[in-house]
Each structure stands twice: as structure tokens, then as C-alpha cells.
Amino acid sequence: MKYVRKRKIVYFFTTLFVTIAITSNAQVTFRASAPSTVVKGEQFRLTYTLNKEGKDLRLPSDMDGFEILFGPSVSQSYSQRTVNGKTTSESSVSYTYILVAQKEGTFTIGPATINVDGSTYQSNAVQIKVISPDQIPKSQSRQESGQSDSSSPTIKSTDAFIRAIVSKSNIYEQEGFTVTFRLYTTLNVVNFGKIEFPEFEGFMVEEIELPMNQQLKIEQYNGKSYYTADLRKTLLFPQRSGKITIPSGRIEMVFSVPSGKRITTFFGSQEVFVDVKKTLVTNPVSVNVTPLPPDKPESFTGAVGSFTFRSNLNAQEVKANEPVALTLEISGTGNLKLIQNPKVEFPSNFEVYDPVVKNELQITTNGLTGTRKIEYLAIPRYEGNYVIPPVEFSYFDLKSRSYKTLKSPQYTIEVAKGDPVKTTASSYVNQQEVKVEDDIRFLKTGKPSFQSKDDYFVGSLAYWLWYIIPLGLFIGFCIIKRQQAKQSANIALVRNKRANKIAIKRLKVAEKYLKEHKQEEFYSEVLRALWGYFSDKLSIPLANLSKDNIEKELSDYNIDDELIETFMRIFNTCEFARYSPVKSDIAMDNLYNETLEAIGRMENQLKLKNSKKQKRHGSI
């Protein structure tokens, strides 16, 4: 009896635990919802609702026909009911994405996945029909896409715009000035789309770093208060005179706009907002560049601004074959990076090395501020007294609008006889030593060596080796130089082949930042990987690389327009992540996967085109 009772107890608890486990699993619901019919080109919401706390939401990889403008925005709801003395509570988490339909047809968005308490759950699939705007009335299309049916929410030109602001409009050639692209808005910014800043043709450009999380400021413009934020700030140096126009740029932005509808909630009547996409165009600006006066000093090397000039010689009494260092220091504000090194006239008996230049500069609104140090290393080879004449540095002063010339002092160097034992490796011979050697011969010590008079040098082994060894060395030298020339000629080819591997390595670093939830470092590393990839793949130096010439080069390579657009979207997303911080890691994860996939598609297309070329040449 005890044994039977014990078995019943075990069976009861086993059934209870299984029932609880099944019930707890059945309690998790993960549901996707979206309009059944949407209009091409209009926005709609795709919402995933979960009745528990979850993490690692992953959208389906194939969302053909739709573009994600924003998301996810996360919201939570909680309700509590009491019926017949029993209190029940329910909570849910909603993840909302803003999408836009790109083409007509019937599409299925596959199930999304999410992790809840260590288990993975799938949502239902959603089927959406995309129709043409002229197939149904506008009011019906807006109701089905979740927007206002009475009137389309619009953004006036005075509600949001971008100004290109120049610090100076009348400047001299090589004079620095800033251009600021500032956003003015009375609406809430939801997201950024495609960004096309103008090209600065005719200028040398220095980017001014902006704070990652800058605070919005309130500014009065045309009698109206706006929230403002600087999107980009650059320091420009005009390289030619005349009137130069900076063209317009285009930036797509998504704003939250009142729909004109109101709903009643627990907290009272509230207005309904909808997301509206608008393309903002910057105003073109022109600057008048005055050429520099023609009466330029001979020592003028292109410096424009306000500068000081100092020099220093580390020693004025040295021995032969001991180095001396002359340091020139140019400090101030102006086009310091564009200044050529002042000309220094060293004595002809000095062996002079290429100067070492160190720039310690900061970017300001008036130009580059800091110090440029130029260090010359010279070695006197003979004893005697030598003179380094004054070094002149000329620049165009913007305050007085005239040329100014600064001079260093004249330096006299006394060179004493050097120690022959400590003489540095050189082919030079001291003249005084030659005279001593002609007058007095050194005594030879040790046992003398005698040679038979019948031994002849001509025809001996040493005689032939005297010819063979230099000839062999010369041939070996030529072979090595030729191999080095081939390797140098194939640098571009080597960089091209290694571009994919290097980009993957950099993306591995970005993946590390993704796992550590470091958003700023993640986006910076993805950008660094893409810039380096295209620099190696297209054989364009990083300094000359831009999104425009990348897009042009890819078009010349006959890369698919869709893939080019994908790369441009990745660039834009990374560059402007600072203005729209993502609340979860989902967008970062999607961007990482999209970047890997885009690079892989790029490599496959290039390989396919190369194989076709080889087959074509083979048939010829």
C-alpha cells in the first residue's frame, strides 16, 4: 500500500510540473500586425507585440519591396482587472517599425524571432498588398496605411529647413572661413534618410568635429523661434580667386507631424501624430575671393594669416662629422598646412638631410591655429668657421592687408677637427689629415711578408675573381632591383586583392563593439572598414575618396544600381547615427549583416565580370 501511495504522489507532482511548464510556455504570445493593403510610396506601421519581456528581436532577412525608415520604437502597456474579487494583470511590449512600400504587388513579410527567458519564439507572417495611388481614393488609402483621412499632413517650408551659413562672404585667396549646415525646425525629428552634402570644388577642406550628442538650441530667425542643431561644419581655404558658389545639398528627413485627429485616453484628449518624410534642400551660397596683391616678396611661400617666426640652433661649436640641428617654428592662425618650408642656405661643406616637419594644429573658425616645427639636420665635414645666413619667412597679414617678412638671426658655427676614430661613416676625407699623411709615414710593425718573383698576379685565381665577383654582384643587384620594381608596380593589385580580407577584419572589430553595446565605436569602425575597402578596391587614396566618386566608380564598373544604393545607405546611416541614437542593438545588428552581405555581393559581381573578360579574350 505504501508503495502504491508513493507512486501516486510521484505521478501527481510529475503531472503538475509538466502542466505548469506547458502552461508557462503557452502564455508567451508574439504577434505581428500591419495593414493588409498599403499604397506605393506611402508609410505604414509594422508592429510586433509580445506579452512578456524579450530581447534580441530579429527581423526576417528578406523584406523585398519595403524600406525601413525608422525603428524599432519600443512601448510598454500594463492593465489590471478585478472580477469577483480576483485580480488579473496583463502587460505587453510593442516594437514598431515605420516602413514604406517601394513597388506594387503582393508581398509576404516572414516571421520575426525574439528570445524570451532563453527560448526563441517566432511571430506570424504578414501578407501585404501594395497598390498604385490611383487605384483607390486618397482618403481610403490613408485610412489603410494608418494616416489621417481628412487631409494629408504636410510640412511647410517655414516649419523645417536647413541653412548653409558662411562666416565670411568676402575673403582673400587662401584665407580660411567656415560653412555651417544648420537645421531649423519646429517639429520633432524622427530619422534621417538619404544625405547629399554639396561638393566644395575650388577649396581645401578641413572637417570640424561636432559633439556626438549635441543639445538642441533655441534660435530666433525671421521673427520665429526654432530648435536648431548643426549637422556639419567645415573649414574652407579657397584655392583660386573670383566668385565661387557652393551648390545646394539635399537631406531626406522624417518628422513627427500633427495629423489633425484627437483620441481620448485615460489621461484625456490627445492629438495623434504621424511620421512624414520631407526632402530639405540647402541654399546655395557664394563667396567673393580677392586675389593676393602682386608685390609678393621672394621668400613668400603661400602663408596667409597672422604668424610669428622663431629659430633655434642647438650648438654653435661642434667637431667635424658631428650633427647640428636648426629648428624653425611658425606659430599663429591661418593656412598652416599649406605653407611651404622656408629656404635655408647651409654652407656647401655641410651634408644636409631632408627636414622633419611636425604640425600641432587645432581647427578653429578663423583657420588652423597652432605651431609648425621644421627641423633641419646638417653634418659639417671639414673644420673651420661657417655662417648660416638669416632665414626669411614672408606671409600675407589679413589685418593690415599687406605682406610681412620675418627673419631669423645669423648663425656662426665653429667646427673643430673631429676624432678620426669616431668619424661617422662617410666618403669624405679631412684635408688636414691628407697633408700629415704626405709628410710623415706611419711605421709598420709585425713580421713582413715576402712574395716570390715568379708569382704573377695576371692569370691567377685572385685576378679572375677580381672580375667574376663584381660581375656576379652586378647581375644579382639587377635581378633584385627588377623584382622590387615589379612588386612596386603591383602594389595596387595587391591592395585590390587584400581589400576584402582587410574589410572583414575591421568588421570583426565592429562586431565586438556591437556585442559590447558601444554604438559610437561600432558605427565608426563600420565606416572605417568601408572607406578602407573602397580605397583599396578602387585604388583611390583616402584623402581623395568621397561618396560621390565611389558612386561614380562603381557605376563605371557596371555594379548593380541596387548594390550601389545599399552602400550609400550604409554610409548615410553610420554618419548620422549621432543625431538619431538607436535604443536597441537590432538596427546595429541589421546594419552589420547588411554590410557583410553588400561586400560579398560586390566581390561576386567583380569576379563574374573578370571571368567574362578572360573568356572573351580567350576566344579572341
pLDDT at 494 exceeding the cut of 70:
no
Answer with the residue of higher pLDDT: 51 or 323. 323
Pick 9 or 344 by higher pLDDT: 344
pLDDT in tens, 374-432: 999 999 988 899 999 999 999 999 999 999 999 999 999 999 987 655 544 443 344 33
In this predicted structure, what is the pLDDT of residue 450? 62
Residue percentage of the chain with pLDDT more than 70: 78
For 445, phi then psi, to 5°, come to -110, 165
Q: What is the pLDDT of residue 373?
A: 94
Q: Quick one: average pLDDT of 358-362? A: 89
- How many CA within 13 A on the CB side of residue 570? 29
| The predicted structure's pLDDT at residue 452 | 62
Confidence of residue 617 (pLDDT cuts 50, 70, 90): low
Residue 123 CA to residue 265 CA, distance in Å, equals 28
Domain 27-144 matching CATH 2.102.10.10: the answer reads no
* CA-to-CA separations, 312 to 143, 316, 324, 470, 608, in angstroms, rounded: 78, 11, 11, 47, 61
User: Can you tell me the distance from the alpha carbon of 206 to that of 364, in angstroms, rounded to the nearest whole number?
Assistant: 10
Work out the number of other CB atoms within 10 angstroms of the CB of residue 156.
10
Asked if domains 303-416 and 491-619 share a fold, the reply is no
Report d(CA 413, CA 388) in Å as an integer: 8
Of the pLDDT bands very low, low, confident and very high (cuts 50, 70, 90), residue 462 is confident
Query: Residue 620 has what pLDDT?
Result: 53
Question: Reduced to 3 states, what is the DSSP secondary structure of residue 80?
Answer: strand
453-480 burial, b at 16+ Cβ within 10 Å, e below that, comes to: eeeeeeeeeeeeeeeeeeeeeeeeeeee
Each domain of the chain, given as residue ranges in start order, spans: 27-144, 160-289, 303-416, 491-619
pLDDT of residue 24: 41
Collapsing DSSP to helix, strand or coil, 324 comes out as strand
Range scoring the smallest mean pLDDT among 288-302, 559-573, 578-592: 578-592
**H-helix or E-strand containing 567?**
helix 561-575
List, in sequence order, every residue forming a beta bridge with 459; answer none if it has no partner: none
**What pLDDT, on a 0 to 100 scale, did the predictor assign at position 491?**
60
Average pLDDT score, the chain: 79
Strand order in 285-290's β-sheet? Answer: 170-172, 285-290, 242-246
Which residues lie below 8 Å from residue 111, measured CB to CB, with a gap of 6+? 32, 60, 122, 123, 124, 125
Q: Which of 179-193, 233-247, 296-310, 572-586 has the lowest mean pLDDT?
A: 572-586
pLDDT of residue 12: 42
* Higher local confidence (pLDDT), 219 or 263: 219
Q: What is the mean pLDDT of residues 62-71?
A: 79
Q: Which CATH number fits domain 491-619: 2.40.50, 2.60.300, 1.10.132, 1.20.120?
A: 1.20.120
Separation of alpha carbons 331 and 329, rounded Å: 6
Q: Position 9: which residue type? A: I
DSSP string, 213-239: TPPPEEEEETTEEEEEEEEEEEEEEES
- Topology of domain 303-416, per CATH? Immunoglobulin-like (2.60.40)
Cell numbers placing 118: 532563453
**100 in Cβ contact with 35 (< 8 Å):** no
Angle value at C-alpha 9, between 4 and 14, nearest 5 degrees: 125
Angle 368-374-379 (CA atoms, 0-180°, nearest 5)?
175
**pLDDT of amino acid 527:** 83
| Most confidently predicted of 16-25, 187-196, 242-251, 517-526 | 242-251
CA dihedral 471, 475, 478, 482 (to 10 degrees): 180
Lowest pLDDT segment from 81-90, 115-124, 354-363: 81-90
User: Is 141 a residue whose pLDDT tops 70?
Assistant: no
In the block, which residue shows the cell 667646427? 415
In one letter, which amino acid is 289? Answer: V
**pLDDT the model gives residue 611:** 72
Query: Thinking of the domain 160-289, which architecture would CATH place it in?
Result: Sandwich (2.60)
pLDDT at position 146 is 43
Could you tell me what percent of the chain has a pLDDT over 90? 22
Q: Pairing between strand 55-58 and 113-116?
A: antiparallel
In the predicted structure, residue 454 carries a pLDDT above the cut 70: no
pLDDT-derived band at 41, boundaries 50, 70, 90:
confident
Split at pLDDT 50, 70, 90, the class of 17 is: very low
Cβ burial of 141 (10 Å; 0-12, 13-18, 19+) is: buried
